[in-house]
Structure 1
Amino acid sequence: MKFIFIIPFLYLLFPQGDYQPNPVPKARHKFIVIAHRGDHTIYPENTLEGYAQAIKNGADYIEIDLRTTSDGKLVSMHDASVNRMTNGKGQIKDLTFEQVENLKISNKHKADSSATYHVPTFEQILTLCKGKIYIYIDFKEADATATYTMLKQYHMENEVLVYINKASQITDWRKTYPKMPLMLSLPDSVKSVETMHAFINTYHPDVLDGGYKEYDSKMVAFAHTINMPVWPDVQGPQESPQVWDTAIALGLKGMQTDNPPVLVKYLAQKGLR
């Protein structure tokens, strides 16, 4: 769900000095591919198997959804509840890690139907990804200090970026680790270079997300001039090569996708990888 930002009117009249964004992890390809919830064309979303497949695909990032169990364990699941994805019921925040660990994720994909999938812990994800792929943390319900402590433990604080879902998370991360690249979506009120400039100077994002249709070529070009990546979402039922063509024509150099293997192949054929 998109966080609602309000751009103060005075910033539109008198923009502050340009914000210099924190750098994102060093790019491994000319065009960035973010595997939305891992590769769930084959395996269930947000599973270690789906993340491992995204690595095999050659994606640049896996997107994970970070939540916290009732006893403080960090795990990855998109939904606040386990109802849709598992054989259990309840909210992640109300379940102990032992309860979550014992759940089985429903298998509705092409992989071996006899396989059993589980909700992954943050530690398992870091172990899998270290040195192989970067991590895009959709910061659903977690503590910045606890997350950063674990990243330091695995020496991965420079291999991630964090997507912000509410204003307090910006404050928490800027206090905890000011160098962490934070990703924000554009509010609906931003529809031009001028309003985009005001938004950036107000909230100080380091990366921009949102839907690809929210941008025009002038907005993307402006972001490039201040070294701010724009890696919007193209995933969803409508995703296709035609959508990718449209996004690339805007000047974008990164996308979040539901179909990483096909997008990687498509970009290679276009000479963009």
Structure 2
Amino acid sequence: MKRYFFIALILGGTWASVQAQTTKSSKANVDLILKDFHQRPDRILVAAHRSAHTNYPENSLAAISEAIKQGIDIAEIDLRLTKDSILVLMHDKTITRTTGQKGEVSSFTYEELKQFPLLHNGKPTAERIPTFKEALLLAKGKIIIDVDFKADGQEAARKAYALINSTGTTKQILFFIYDYQDATFLQSISKQVPIMPRAHDAAETAAILGIGKFPAIHVDPSFYTEKLMTDILKAGSRVWINALDEIDNMEKANENTGFDLLFSKYPQANIIQTDLPEKLLRYLRKKGRHQ
């Protein structure tokens, strides 16, 4: 089983401060998000890449909490496994960029990792590396989680599924898999966890549509065609596409230009992952494409 798993989900300083932020901030209700997800394909959903990290460290509880506060639909997180087999949120294989410390995630115990403040714009914060369980409990009932599963091996995947089931967050997950053929193994663990496969070309898209119904399919701009996207939508799946890099950079340079281009080129995409989730949400609401 390949190690590039992904799951769609969402969550958000210190544990106490995050709880306080979430309580006072949000009317977020994951049932409303899920209703739009499954019943309103015309509604475009917003996914926050590494959660809402403009003002907080990426993959932190505060960033998940901020996504909830902003009313974002989906928070993306990355998972890795510690030396003592604890699933934690971390994008890179090493902790250098995000903490300033040297070493791989897998070379530290979780107790050791907890000692390192997460950096934001190169400066230490009060945030620490969170566990997957903490993120799930924070997100519960509030937001969908897209999990990019970077831990190695089937046992790590089983551990992730066990945490999803034990926290009662199954319906809030999009388990994003890099290889659609891994769906068979994952469904042998549980058929209840929603899976989002990635298609790398038109042939894989057709193969995915042939093996079952998935809530969403991740596609790339390189093979986007109106007919192919119509096939996905007719099958009852959503079309996930990234606005990362080119589109987001255009939007930063000149408001609306990036998002205007995105929807002119990919009009059938109805889940957009971006590093600018609050801006995209504001844009969509002005267009009447989000609640």
TM-score norm. by structure 2 comes to 0.76
Whether 2:133 is the aligned partner of 1:123: answer yes
Read off the aligned partner of 2:99 and give its amino acid letter.
T
Q: Which runs of 5+ in 2 are unaligned?
A: 5-32
Q: CA deviation at 1:230?
A: 0.9
Number of corresponding residues: 246
| CA gap 1:81/1:132 in 2 versus in 1, 3 angstroms | same
Which has the larger strand fraction?
Answer: 2
Alignment equivalent of 1:266, drawn from 274, 283, 286: 283
Alignment equivalent of 1:208, drawn from 217, 231, 256: 217
Superposition misfits of 4+ residues, deviation over 6 angstroms: none
Mapped partners of 1:204, 1:215: distance in 2: 20
Q: CA deviation at 1:206?
A: 4.5
Which has the larger helix fraction?
Answer: 2
- Which residue matches 1:155? 168
Alignment equivalent of 1:235, drawn from 244, 262, 265: 244
- Which residue matches 1:57? 70
| RMSD over aligned Cα atoms | 2.7
Residue 80 of structure 1: SS of its match in structure 2?
A: coil
Q: State how 1:4-23 maps to structure 2 within 5 Å.
A: none
Read off the aligned partner of 2:285 and give its amino acid letter.
A
- Which residue matches 1:226? 235
- Which residue matches 1:41? 54
Mapped partners of 2:257, 2:236: distance in 1: 27
Read off the aligned partner of 1:161 and give its amino acid letter.
L
| CA gap 1:263/1:236 in 2 versus in 1, 3 angstroms | same
Residue 240 of structure 2: SS of its match in structure 1?
A: coil
Question: 8 Å contact 2:47–2:74 — kept in the other structure?
Answer: yes
Whether 2:114 is the aligned partner of 1:101: answer yes
Mapped partners of 2:204, 2:134: distance in 1: 41
Mapped partners of 2:112, 2:144: distance in 1: 29
| CA gap 1:107/1:185 in 2 versus in 1, 3 angstroms | same
Q: State how 1:250-265 maps to structure 2 within 5 Å.
A: 250-265=267-282
Read off the aligned partner of 2:103 and give its amino acid letter.
G
Residue 151 of structure 1: SS of its match in structure 2?
A: helix
Q: CA deviation at 1:212?
A: 3.8
TM-score norm. by structure 1 comes to 0.80
Q: CA deviation at 1:174?
A: 1.4
| CA gap 1:265/1:167 in 2 versus in 1, 3 angstroms | closer
Q: CA deviation at 1:25?
A: 4.4
Alignment equivalent of 1:31, drawn from 44, 52, 55: 44
